[in-house]
Each structure stands twice: as C-alpha cells, then as structure tokens.
C-alpha cells in the first residue's frame, strides 16, 4: 500500500555561522515533531570556522514516514547570506517560497517560478536591540505565510530552545517577524 503525504515540506535554511541558522532548523524540527506531532528530520552542515563560514540546516516535515533525511528540492528556502542564496536558489521547487534577509541578500530575477519575499530581518532585530535575533524574525515571517508548523508550536519550540533569560526577547522578535509578514499579506 502506498501512502501519500498530505503534509510534506522540504526546507533549507542557509547563511553563515553565528546567525542562528542551525538553531532555526532545530526549532522548526522541534515544533513539528514534538508540538505538532508530525514527522520531522533535521540535518545541519557547516564549515570548519566557528563563525562566519557557510552553514545550512535542512528540515523535512511530513505526516508520513520520512525515509531520506536530506532535502532534495526545497519547497521553502530561507537565505540569510548571499553565498547561501547563490548556492541554493536554483534548487527551489516550482511554486515554492523564497525568504531572504533584504539587508544581506540581493535577489536576482527568476520570473514567477516561486513566491519571493525580502524581509529586513536584521534591521528589525537591530531595532529590537539585538541583531542576532534576525533568525527568529525570519521564523515569525515564515509562520505568517506558511502552514509548515503551527504558530503556537513555533513559540513553544523557541521558548525551549533559546538561551535561558532571552526567551521573551526572542518571542518578541518572532512576533515582530509575524507582524511584518501579516502586513505584507494584506498588501
């Protein structure tokens, strides 16, 4: 018997070390598997540098068994560096979604193959007092535009995953990204 997935998302998050790319992947996977009770895989890769080197996180969310944990063709690409954008842009699934940090990534024109959003995540996070929360701003925007995981599960996963004492600030960054996305949806 072949089981067809009703829920199936391949997500690639790319950037450079120190941006919280791997943390975002972990949060998405935790939100899906623990709080939304779906299946999820999470794979990370990064260069030898502690900070500044290329890194990525790959997350697959499905309501059926995931037999291969690596993303082949992301339905969602979150690019937080130009290098991460360039190395992944051609792999986005037709009809998928691209989210970039407008302060760090210059997008090229690819027509209407997928939905494309440029979010000033670094600027929003900086206005909130900590540029390091740009990754969480991006998760908020993603939550406002997609149904990969529920907003509540993401909030719980953020609360459980960020350093103790920073939970409320990170949830504020999530809300700021969500609000920005909600305004974008309204046009």
How is the chain split into domains, by residue range?
A: 8-122+146-161
- Distance, in Å, from the CA atom of 2 to the CA atom of 151, rounded to the nearest integer, reads 31
* pLDDT tens digits, 122-138: 999 999 999 999 999 99
Is the Cβ–Cβ distance between 74 and 148 less than 8 Å? no
Question: Does residue 5 register a pLDDT over 60?
Answer: yes
Question: Does residue 154 register a pLDDT over 80?
Answer: yes
* pLDDT tens digits, 18-51: 899 999 999 999 999 999 999 999 999 977 665 6
Q: How confident is the model at residue 54 (pLDDT cuts 50, 70, 90)?
A: confident
Per the listing, tokens 């068994």 go with: 65
Q: How confident is the model at residue 143 (pLDDT cuts 50, 70, 90)?
A: very high
- Between residues 96 and 1, which one has the greater pLDDT? 96
* pLDDT tens digits, 94-104: 999 999 999 99
Q: How confident is the model at residue 8 (pLDDT cuts 50, 70, 90)?
A: very high
What is the model's pLDDT at position 139?
A: 98
What is the model's pLDDT at position 50?
A: 58
The strand ranges marked E within the chain are: 8-16, 39-46, 54-62, 76-79, 97-101, 115-119
User: Which residues contact residue 14 at a Cβ distance below 8 angstroms, ignoring those fewer than 6 apart?
Assistant: 21, 54, 55, 56, 57, 77, 78, 79, 80, 81, 83, 84, 85, 87, 88
CATH number of this structure's domain 8-122+146-161: 3.40.920.10
Q: Which residues of 127-139 are buried (b: 16+ CB within 10 A; e: fewer)?
A: ebeebbbbbbbbb
């Amino acid at each position: 018997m072949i089981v067809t997935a009703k829920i199936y998302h391949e997500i690639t998050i790319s950037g450079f070390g120190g941006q919280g790319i791997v943390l975002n992947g972990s949060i998405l996977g935790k939100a899906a598997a623990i709080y939304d009770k779906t299946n999820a895989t999470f794979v990370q890769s990064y260069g030898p540098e502690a900070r500044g080197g290329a890194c990525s996180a790959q997350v697959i969310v499905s309501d059926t068994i995931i037999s291969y944990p690596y993303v082949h063709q992301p339905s969602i690409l979150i690019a937080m560096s130009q290098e991460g954008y360039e190395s992944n842009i051609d792999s986005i699934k037709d009809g998928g979604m691209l989210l970039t940090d407008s302060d760090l990534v210059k997008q090229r024109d690819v027509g209407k193959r997928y939905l494309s959003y440029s979010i000033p995540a670094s600027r929003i996070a900086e206005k909130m007092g900590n540029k390091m929360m740009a990754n969480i701003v991006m998760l908020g925007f993603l939550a406002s535009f997609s149904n990969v995981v529920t907003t509540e599960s993401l909030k719980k996963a953020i609360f459980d995953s960020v350093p103790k004492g920073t939970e409320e600030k990170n949830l504020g960054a999530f809300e700021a990204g969500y609000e920005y996305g909600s305004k974008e949806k309204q046009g």
